[in-house]
Chains A and B, each alone.
Chain A
């Protein structure tokens, strides 16, 4: 799943290094538009829905954080 999310992110923000990087939201690499497109892609590709209450900066600030929030809803 991690690879799939990385693939989606690389498609959304092709010019940025994502693996191992933190501060994706804080450094404005992921805009609010990109976060919503990412959620839409995760739903389409992985059939996992991230609810609005979990759309907070700390859940999108790194690849690890995004994977963690996706896994949380995969188990539901």
Chain B
């Protein structure tokens, strides 16, 4: 069941009616039942993987919780807790291997087979593996929860139904956001009163998300696909190809997240934001704090910090401090851990060398900028650059936007040679009139100027809304404070745009659903 379908709208409406009309104490049962139904709509087999993940996570967390509880009652509490932590560590490792092992096997086996075949010409056939919907998201949520229990940041959940609801809550299944147990779980079990404000806010967010997905991302996709399919013939607009990819990726991913957060809002549940105006970033580090925020913070808390503070990195840090001095030496292990994290982010995005290269590219730029930080300060001082000025801020935004777009070349084509060719054309050829030769999907070239107008107008609206938010405003709250007639007009305009202005090639699905 696609999130952009009549079926899903009916499904959410039925769920909302049951949620608010049945006694409030049944609300979490309604959410659980509807989530299971939603997942079952993708078949029985994916459910089995989900049951496995829930079972492993629940059993391991309860076992760790019991160990800590027993240790807390011992006379020598400190020694007993240390021993409980040691035993919990074994349980944690097994549970993580089972969770990540399942994900890795399903997602990366054929990638390894391809590489073995490439190197050894082994001719091994692909395995017919199904990648269940949302497996990355519930695996990340499971492992995050297990680590929180192991570190005693969260208490373990002894109620299987409650933990299962946290892992199967249907809105996040398609493309996140990745939630933390402490932030989301309590809201799922609380009783919520019906509140029109939540419904209004949710509907507005959903319509805005649909506009980004079905109008902006869809039109961008039509032209981006044409450019990437014929890079030689359309060399004069190669630069626009990658810019359109940015619009497509952002419109599709952030629009999908708007729908998810809007649906959750209608159930009076607040999920974490996943985007914060990423194209206003002043550095790649800043970008990763604004783009797919929940994945970035997951990686930071559960991979980057533990890896940097591990025994191995501490020993490595001692050596680098000895070799390079205190300041640079202490930063090198952090940079290395950062590179490993971005390698993993690349791997997570998909089993291709392009994605891995894209991840490492981001990691190298961040590491380089950290190592060069003091040098940059000296240069800025020597060149009399005021880094608090608006001009410098704008320069940093444009520089970061360029660096991000360069990284998309690796992400959006199938081979390195094609990426390099597109890059070359981007700076050596420029002929925007070539756009007029590309048909607007089934509507033909006659409609192309209108399609480009819609795309450009949509980007302008998106830019204005983003700028509004970047300046600290809350556009949804502001709209909901406006006179009712204006609100109705805006809702109708958005609805009309979604229904009438998108290309006829709807139903491409969410780019991030495959992760």
Contact residues of A with B, CB < 8 Å? 28, 31-33, 36-37, 39-41, 43-44, 51-53, 55-56
Contacts and interface: CB of A to CB of B under 8 A. Distances in A.
Contacts of A31: 285
Contact of B309 (A36, A41, A44): A36
Contact of B304 (A32, A39, A53): A32
Contact of A53 (B151, B314, B317, B321): B151
Nearest to B326: A44
Given A37-B331, A41-B330, 4 more contacts: A33-B334, A37-B334, A39-B309, A44-B326
A53 B153 contact: yes
A32 B338 CA distance: 10
A43 B311 CA distance: 13
B152 A53 contact: yes
A33 B333 CA distance: 10
B368 to A, nearest CB: 13
Contacts of B301: 55
B10 to A, nearest CB: 41
Contacts of B466: none
Interface string B364-382: 0000001000000000000
A16 to B, nearest CB: 13
Contacts of A43: 314
Given A52-B305, A52-B309, A36 B334 contact: yes
17 contacts: A28-B289, A33-B285, A33-B370, A36-B305, A36-B334, A37-B330, A37-B334, A40-B317, A41-B330, A43-B314, A44-B321, A44-B326, A44-B330, A52-B151, A52-B305, A53-B151, A56-B153
B152 A33 contact: no
A17 B304 CA distance: 27
Contacts of B308: 36
B285 A55 contact: no
Interface of B: 151-153, 285, 289, 300-301, 304-306, 308-309, 314, 317, 321, 326, 330-331, 334, 338, 370
Contacts of B326: 44
Contact of A32 (B300, B314, B317): B300
A64 B199 CA distance: 41
Q: Per DSSP, are chain B's interface residues mostly helix, strand or loop, or mixed?
A: helix
A14 to B, nearest CB: 9
B309 A55 contact: yes
A51 to B, nearest CB: 7
A52 B334 contact: no
Contact of A40 (B151, B289, B306, B330): B330
A14 B338 CA distance: 24
A33 B331 contact: yes
A58 to B, nearest CB: 11
Contacts of B309: 36, 39, 51-52, 55
Contacts of A55: 301, 305, 309
A41 B314 CA distance: 12
A55 B314 CA distance: 16
B218 to A, nearest CB: 34
Contacts of A33: 285, 331, 334, 338, 370
Most B CB contacts (10 A, CB to CB) among A33, A41, A43, A44 go to: A33
Contacts of A44: 321, 326, 330
A37 B308 CA distance: 10
Nearest to A43: B314
Contacts of B306: 52
Contacts of B338: 33
A76 B317 CA distance: 24
B362 to A, nearest CB: 14
B302 to A, nearest CB: 10
A4 to B, nearest CB: 15
A55 B337 CA distance: 16
A31 B285 CA distance: 9
Given A37-B334, A40-B317, A53-B153, A32 B305 contact: yes
A36 B335 CA distance: 11
